A and B are shown apart, each in its own frame.
Chain A
C-alpha cells in the first residue's frame, strides 16, 4: 500500500496569554513531535484520553490550525507550504467529519444547501445537476431526497451525522478525518454510523483517519491503530497486533479497560492512578512515567524514542526494548 499522508515531527503549541498586554506566559503542548504515515485506502485509528491532542492532530492535517513545527505531506505535497489556491485544491481531497453533529451543521441552512455548498464552491455541478448530486449523496448516507428541504434541528443526532458525512463526501475526497464521529451518538446509532462509514469506504475507496477516545469504536473499523498520550504517539501497530500483543504499558492499560461481554471471563484490569499531567508542563523523561506501573529510573530522565520493534509495530518505551532483546 502506498503512503497517502506522511506526517513528520508535527508539533502544535497553543500560547497561554495573560495580563493586559496578552503576554505569553506559557504554552500548552497539545501535539509534540508526531510522526506517522497514513496509507492509501486504510483506516488508521487514533486513540487516547481527552486532551491528548488527537483532535488537534486531525485539524492540523487539514490545516484548520497552523502548526508550530513539522510537516504534513499529502500525496507528496507539503500542506503547510501550500499557497491559498493550492490549499483550495488540496481541501477538495481531504475532508472532516466532526464529533458533535449538533454543532457542525449551520442551523440557518437547509440540509440541501449544506450539502450543495461544497459542490457550488468548487463548481462541480451547475443548475439542476446540483440538486441531483445532493439527492444522490443523501441516498448514499441513507437519507431520502425530501430531507434536503429540512433544517438541521428537525433531525436526530444520527441523521445529522449522516448529513455531516454527506457533506464530507460531496467533494469526492481521498482522505476523511473522522473526529470522534460516533461519540456523541446513542450506542444503537453508533454501530449504524460505523457500518455506514465502512460501506462508504469500500464504495468510494476512501482513506480514514479515525479519531476516538476508546478502543471499542476503533476496533471495528481500523486496520492500524495509533495510541496517543499527552501529545505523543506511544504505540502504533496493526489492529490484530495491538489487540493481541500490546507492548506499551499505556496501551495495555487501555486494552484492559475494554469490557468483555462475558461475565465469567477472568481478566486482569490495570487501573492507572492519577490524572493526565497538564500539557502545559509535561513530565520530564517519558511522559507516562508518573502513572506507569512499571516505571524505572531511566524513565524519569530520558525520553524514549519512537522505534520499530518488529515490522509494522512501533513503540516508545524504554522497557520494551529490553523485553525483546
Chain B
C-alpha cells in the first residue's frame, strides 16, 4: 500500500518550483492594497531622495507677501505663515519623516526582538530582570523619557531618532516575549532541540519566524508613532527645530491658523496619514505573503 502511494507521480509537472523569494513576491503582488502602498512608498522615497530636483521652490525661502495664501496654480498647496511653499516643504519633510520612522522602528525592533526573545525563551530570573526594567521604562510617559534622553544625547535629528527608538523598545520587547512564550511550548520546538539545534538556532529558525505576524503589524504602527513623536519633540524645541521642514513641526506651527488658513495643517496632516496608512497596509500584505499557511 505504501509503495502504491509512493509510486503515483501526482501532478508533478503541474506544480512548478519557485524559490521562496519569487514565491513571496508572487503572493505579495496579488494583494492590491499592499502593492498600491508599496508604489506610494517607493515614489515617496524617490521624491525625498531627489527633493532638490523635484521641489518647485526653496522650502526655506520666505515670500512674505504671499503668507497664508491659499492653494493656487503657482503654489499648488499654498503658502505657510511665513510665505514658504507648502508643497516644497512637504517634499523636504519626507526626507526627515521617513528616516525617523524607519530608523527609530529599526532600533526599537532589533533591540526589542533580542531582549524580548531572550526573556521569553529562558524565563526565570533573566525574564524577571529584563521585563521589570522594561516596565520601569514604560512607567514614564514616553515623551518625557525621550526628553530626558535628548538632554543626555544633545539636540539634533539623529539624536531624536535614537531617543525615540530607545523609548519604543519596551513595547516591542513585550510583544516579542509574549509571542515567544506562546510558541516555545509547541512540540516542534522540542523537536528542534531533539535534532540538535542550539538555543540560538531554535530562537531564530523555529520561534521568531512563527511570531512574525504581530511583530510586523506592531512595527508598521510603530512607524507612525515614531513620526508623530519626532514632531512632538520638534514642537517642544528638541529634535527637529522649527525652520527645518518636517511634517510634525509644520503641523505644530500651522495649528494657530487653523481657522483662517486650514491648508497649513491640512496638507502635512494628509501626508502623515497617507504615509502611515501605506506602511500599515504594506505591513498587512507582508504578513500574509510571508505566511506559508495562506498559500494559494
Contacts and interface: CB of A to CB of B under 8 A. Distances in A.
Interface of A: 59, 62, 64, 88, 91-92, 95-96, 98-100, 103-108, 110, 117-118, 121-122, 139, 141-144, 146, 149, 151, 153, 164, 167, 170-171, 192, 196, 199
B194 A106 contact: no
B188 A59 contact: no
B1 A192 contact: yes
Given A143-B6, A146-B12, A103 B188 contact: yes
Given A103-B187, A104-B186, A106-B206, 15 more contacts: A91-B196, A95-B194, A96-B190, A104-B188, A107-B188, A107-B210, A107-B292, A108-B209, A121-B201, A142-B3, A142-B6, A164-B191, A167-B195, A171-B195, A192-B2
Contact of B191 (A104, A151, A153): A104
A196 B5 CA distance: 13
B196 A122 contact: yes
A144 B8 contact: yes
Contacts of A107: 188, 210, 292-293
Contact of A98 (B191, B201, B292, B295): B191
A151 B23 CA distance: 13
14 contacts: A91-B195, A96-B191, A104-B187, A106-B210, A107-B293, A108-B210, A121-B195, A121-B201, A139-B6, A143-B5, A144-B8, A146-B11, A167-B195, A199-B2
A62 B193 CA distance: 10
B204 to A, nearest CB: 12
B197 interface: yes
B15 A146 contact: yes
Contacts of A92: 196
B174 to A, nearest CB: 19
A167 B194 CA distance: 10
Contact of A96 (B186, B194, B209, B293): B194
A161 B191 CA distance: 13
B210 A151 contact: no
Nearest to A95: B194
Q: Is the interface of B mostly helix, strand, loop or mixed?
A: helix
Q: How many interface residues does chain B have, given as a range? A: 20 to 34
A313 B197 CA distance: 39
B5 A142 contact: yes
B243 interface: no
Contacts of B186: 103-104
B21 interface: no
Contacts of A139: 6
A88 B206 CA distance: 18
Contact of B2 (A108, A122, A142, A153): A142
Contact of B292 (A110, A143, A164): A110
A270 B195 CA distance: 43
Contacts of A151: 292-293, 295
Interface in B7-37: 8-12, 15, 17
Contacts of B190: 59, 64, 96, 98, 104
The 4 closest A-B pairs by CB, nearest first: A142-B2, A118-B195, A104-B187, A151-B292
B196 A121 contact: yes
B192 interface: yes
A64 B15 contact: no
Nearest to A89: B196
A141 B17 CA distance: 23
A276 to B, nearest CB: 23
Contact of B196 (A104, A118, A146, A149): A118
Contacts of B201: 121
Contacts of B3: 142
Nearest to A192: B1
Contacts of B292: 107-108, 110, 151, 153
Contacts of B210: 106-108
A96 B186 CA distance: 14
A76 to B, nearest CB: 21
B290 to A, nearest CB: 8
B189 to A, nearest CB: 8
A47 B15 CA distance: 44
A139 B4 CA distance: 11
A271 B2 CA distance: 40
A171 to B, nearest CB: 7
Contacts of B295: 151
A92 B194 CA distance: 9
A153 B293 contact: yes
A62 B188 contact: no
Nearest to B295: A151
A250 B89 CA distance: 83
B283 to A, nearest CB: 18
Contacts of A143: 5-6
Given A144-B9, A144-B10, A62 B196 contact: no
A41 B186 CA distance: 30
A91 B194 contact: yes
A144 B192 CA distance: 23
